[in-house]
Amino acid sequence: MRLSILERGHRRRAKLFLSATSAMSRVDSPDIVRTLLYRPEFMTRALLDLTAPAMRGPSFWTAGEREYLAMGTAKLHECPFCIVTHAELTRIAGEGALDPDEPASARPELRAVRAFLDTVSRPGGEPDASLVADVPAPAVLEALRVNLVWDVVNRLANAFGFELRDGQLESGTRSLHRFGYRFPGFLLSGGTKTDHGDVVEDLRHVVVEARGGTDRALRAALVAGDSVAEPWQTYADTVRTASYRVTDADVAALLAAGHTEEEVFEVTVAAAVGAALAAFDRGRKALGD
């Protein structure tokens, strides 16, 4: 469901940035950028603090391999927007060394950790650490952080109806790669910065602690995976377990029941973050970390 607040509800500085970049590239700003620049203090700052080092920082995995892992996460969530985007980024960042359409082009360690991540993120699944017995433990933890990021973003992309428009694939992927998943700081300023000593813990807490239109207790329950009152429970369950099944009718029903787009946004983010963190925690536990 395309929320109007994600189209037109940005702060003035974000609106100017979106207009300027669209004019320069002659391409509309991608939905992911519009979403991340909407109320950045609510989730974006913490998510990007995790994303940039996970995707482009020092790692056992090359940048292309991390994009390949992200593509695998997108396939698990059945997210067309993210599948196509990360396939293209695998080609760009991999510089021809890795073919996103040919699994055999991936080194054995990459195939093994991708299989492990599938057992981590699949709803109801049990992580199988034996799959990565021959992969260095720090490398598996790095892969879990990559997976955490895209477990969040894929759910948001599905729930909010992200689409690729003409010209966006080429311009958007090249910009992401060139800037290393970083945004200009002035676009992310404002509010109180969450600091729990670790970027994953910051993400765990930020959507609860940030000011919002929903009750903090509701958001805390959603992040923890606890039960909440209807109609949020059914909607949050869909976001968690099968975000590709979220329909315009689902969101329209919430709005018709008297809830606002702000509330839908906050509940969607909290449910997505909570489900992603639950998978991350399962993966770490399976590794004995």
d(CA 37, CA 222): 22
State the Cα–Cα distance between residues 38 and 190, nearest whole angstrom. 12
pLDDT in tens, 230-273: 999 999 999 999 999 999 999 999 999 999 999 999 999 999 99
At 44, list the tokens.
């974006």
Query: With bands split at pLDDT 50, 70 and 90, how would you rate the model's confidence at 80?
Result: very high
* Model pLDDT, residue 273: 98
What is the number of other CB atoms lying within 10 angstroms of the CB of residue 104? 6
On average, the pLDDT of the chain sits at 94
Identify whether the C-beta of residue 44 lies closer than 8 Å to the C-beta of residue 188.
yes
Q: What are phi and psi of 255, to 5 degrees?
A: -70, -40
Mean pLDDT confidence for 78-83: 96
Structure tokens at 258: 């008297």
Residue 104 has pLDDT above 90, yes or no: yes
Question: What are the phi and psi torsion angles at 125 (to 5°)?
Answer: -80, 160
- What amino acid occupies position 173? T
- Rounded Cα distance, 101 and 88, in Å: 10
Q: What global pTM score does this model have?
A: 0.95
Nearest to 114 by CA among 164, 59, 74, 80: 74
Per-residue pLDDT reduced to its tens digit, 188-236: 988 777 788 899 999 999 999 999 999 999 999 999 999 999 999 999 9
Note the pLDDT of residue 191: 74
Nearest to 116, CA basis, from 92, 89, 138, 144:
144
